Chains A and B, each alone.
Chain A
């Protein structure tokens, strides 16, 4: 590496170069000590005199509510740079049993109301909470865009496809459908969507095992897009953002077929598949000012059409619902901070 060593006649000793360097370093340091005047800026972030909000917000729960909640969090974090929020998608049930009801998170998102076992668990750990409605979702039934033989289904027909002793071929659903096997793609049983679907479509008849189960909407979409005789269901957001990739079926619950869109879901016409999405703040957390402020901000944003409908693809809450929720929240905050 070093073939030619240039031997300086005088030879600079290490002592001299050390002295030179020390001198330079001292000079450099001395030059910069002027900026020491504002010393003590380090600290651990407690010195923000303006009384702005700070602290962390931990959120877990439903992957259906995740896009909505993280969109609102994003704006809140931008307005309050000292607040440090984080959000995880654990599924509604996973969030309650692993994090929320053991007191690890401040909010839990859910795509269905809290269930009795979960209430019990929260009770055991003295975790109190209130229920806030986040938005409305329209559970969307999709088929392949090539499937021009089908436009709508009645609730009974839908149940015959998905109940536990489900029919095998399409012509068993309705006589004029083709004699082809049905391929099903749906939500996994950890998902709130799965629970909601059973409760409102099949009732006691349960859910078939003969389907591809996943938590991921785009896996369902790819599956349905891959076969003309496939059917799947998921939340409205995916279909809303990719309307050309799949065909949404109109649902007939007795008053003629209704297509899923923001209006029919908001008005309740698209029943029984329009559902409320929830978030559950814990009372203890609402006692902290920055979390109470975020909860207020959240309820305010649930009527924001650009955000809820445009960016995320859910149905915004009505003004009435918002007022109701805000009242409930303010009462809870007062009690918590009381």
Chain B
């Protein structure tokens, strides 16, 4: 950012002015888009959470019970008097500045719709300060522990929900058989081979697993009696996850801790599953959420206690939960008028409706999650496969070399084709010719995979190309085959870059509407899809339809809530991918 002034004397005044003007112009250019997007998001959140109707007392209550303790927690972790001074100055000075500026604009220029100075303060000052402090605080051990714990709780629950959603369309009975007869024997063989250094057993694992999978598909048609859903999920997911958690802990902390770390979440989750069944909730989903959030949390807690540094940070979730509870209590006790958010539990668990208050996005959320999971797998496999072939296996000269270049140019051109055209392709190829059906998950996922494939390929190629040739030559010199070099050297080195490209491409796929319309995806469905070949709706389709409804409550409140939901899921998806990427980077 800073201009280099060392030679300023030698160039005279003119070049300095140009440089400064250029600097500010480029600053303006970079800020313009962010500010516009920020304003949009602020208004969308105000609509989605009905903040325009939030009384100042309500805002103050939660500011004091939730935001202030969080800021104090971050400041405590940062343990830096300079940061504390600056944060307090920004919060205090911002309060005066925003209130004065806001009143002045309202009085002199024009009233600002759907905003008051308290909200402006929240979005313009409090939110950035909180983000800054969270960043500074997380460099201290206490907040790092707090965020780590919070991330495992939230992330685990999200993954549990996603897995539960996927089993709405995938047959859990096939999975049960495949797991029992394929995965378990294979894993056992492999573990035995590694443990006894018996290579033959380890090598046999893959064929045994494959035979088990085929057996499972066959058995699914024959066997008619199965354990209940809860037992299936317990056996195939909860117990393995708990076992992995225990293994991670046992070495370091001993058997007792290992049993507690695996057993406690498992017991809680099983009990939760049975209780949920009684309460009319989906028992498997509750079990999955509790196990996938509980086991990583327990492992993390045991590790933090073992290390003995920053244990205070473990209190962050309790602090936040207590803040919410205290706020709710105060609001209830003093009768503070509370806003009625459009985005609430009913919105994400219920079907669309003609009345805005009852409208929900659940079937569309499920549709989007399933589609995006399929697209992620398809485009990752196809994209990485293509790019490895193009970069590692094709010759660079001769006839084949020019063919490769032709292929390259075509792939680059495909990236620029409008999405509607891909929709037509999907309609003709997948829906009509191959008979996957109009608007089914398979058709939609294949179409969207094709749509983002060029982007995935190009970014994966860049990542593979950026692996230094020295590494490949080194591997060759050790006598490795091309396959070994690719598997052991190139792909691990390129994986972070490949993940980055895939994340960006998936972000585009989840928001696409035009190809979905073309392949005949439904605007509205009223129940979650039950198979990959039933008709689907996706979040952008439903949001687009609502934006056209005559009632103002739909066009503002319900649509805004949909936009926020879409963004949250997008962020969750990207967060998962970023975690995977960071892990791959650390692996290097």
Q: Do A and B come from one complex?
A: yes
Point out residues on A near B: beta carbons under 8 Å. Answer: 2-6, 8, 12, 14, 16-17, 20-21, 24-25, 28-29, 32-33, 35-36, 38-42, 44-45, 56, 58, 60, 63, 66-67, 70-71, 73-74, 77, 81, 84-90, 98-99, 104, 215-218, 237-238, 240-242, 311-313
- Does B332 count as interface, using CB distance less than 8 angstroms? no
Residues A86 and B255 in contact, CB atoms below 8 Å apart: no
Q: Select A84's contact among B195, B227, B308, B530, beta carbons within 8 Å.
A: B530
In the assembled complex, how far is the CB of residue B360 from the closest CB belonging to chain A, in whole angstroms?
Answer: 11
Is the beta-carbon distance between A33 and B227 smaller than 8 angstroms? Answer: yes
Q: A35-B228, A35-B231, A218-B547 are in contact. Are A73 and B258 (CB under 8 A)?
A: no
Expressed in whole angstroms, the minimum distance between the Cβ of B2 and any Cβ of chain A is 36
Contact, CB under 8 Å: A39 / B225 = yes
CB-based nearest B residue for A99: B520
Given the interface contacts A21-B262, A28-B234, does A39 sit within 8 Å of B226 by beta carbon? yes
Closest-CB distance, B310 to chain A (whole angstroms)? 13
B527 touches A218 (CB 8 A): no
> Is B247 an interface residue when CB atoms closer than 8 A count as contact?
yes
Give the chain A neighbours of B548 by CB distance below 8 A.
Answer: 63, 89, 215-218
Partner of A40, one of B226, B262, B308: B226
Q: Chain A residues with Cβ under 8 A from B224's Cβ?
A: 40
Q: A70-B352, A86-B525 are in contact. List 20 more A-B contacts (CB 8 A).
A: A4-B306, A4-B308, A12-B250, A17-B246, A21-B262, A24-B262, A29-B231, A32-B234, A36-B228, A36-B231, A58-B535, A60-B520, A66-B523, A74-B351, A74-B353, A85-B525, A90-B517, A99-B520, A216-B547, A218-B555
Interface string of B226-237 (1 = CB under 8 A from A): 111111001100
Within 8 A of A (CB), among B483-541: 517, 520-527, 530, 534-535, 537
Chain B residues with CB under 8 A of A86: 439, 522-526, 535, 537
Can you give 28 contacting A-B residue pairs, CB < 8 Å? A2-B307, A3-B307, A4-B306, A4-B308, A6-B306, A12-B254, A24-B266, A25-B243, A28-B239, A29-B234, A36-B225, A39-B226, A40-B226, A41-B226, A41-B228, A41-B229, A44-B171, A70-B524, A74-B354, A84-B525, A86-B439, A86-B524, A88-B522, A89-B545, A216-B548, A217-B548, A218-B555, A313-B550
Residue B311 lies at the interface, judged by CB distance under 8 Å to chain A: no
* Nearest-neighbor residue (CB-CB) of A68 within chain B: B354
Residue of B nearest to A29 (CB): B235
Taking CB atoms, residues of chain B closer than 8 Å to A25 are: 239, 243
For the complex, what is the distance from the CA of A66 to the CA of B243, rounded to whole Å? 52
B270 at the interface (CB under 8 A from A): yes
Judged by a CB distance under 8 angstroms, whether B420 is at the interface is: no
Within 8 A of A (CB), among B283-307: 303, 306-307
Q: Smallest Cβ distance from B588 to chain A, in angstroms? A: 16
Least CB distance, A50 to chain B, in whole angstroms: 18
Contact of A17 among B250, B352, B353 (CB under 8 A): B250
User: Which of A4, A8, A35, A242 makes the CB contact (< 8 A) with B254?
Assistant: A8
| Chain A hits for B391, CB < 8 A | none
Contacts of A240 in B (CB 8 A): 550
Task: Write the nearest CB–CB distance from B515 to chain A, whole angstroms.
Answer: 14
| Residues A17 and B526 in contact, CB atoms below 8 Å apart | no
Q: Verify if B252 is at the interface (C-beta below 8 Å from A).
A: yes
Contacts of A71 in B (CB 8 A): 354
Q: Assuming A3-B307, A6-B253, A240-B550, is B231 touching A33 (CB within 8 A)?
A: yes
Q: Contact check, A87 vs B523: say whether CB atoms are below 8 A apart.
A: yes
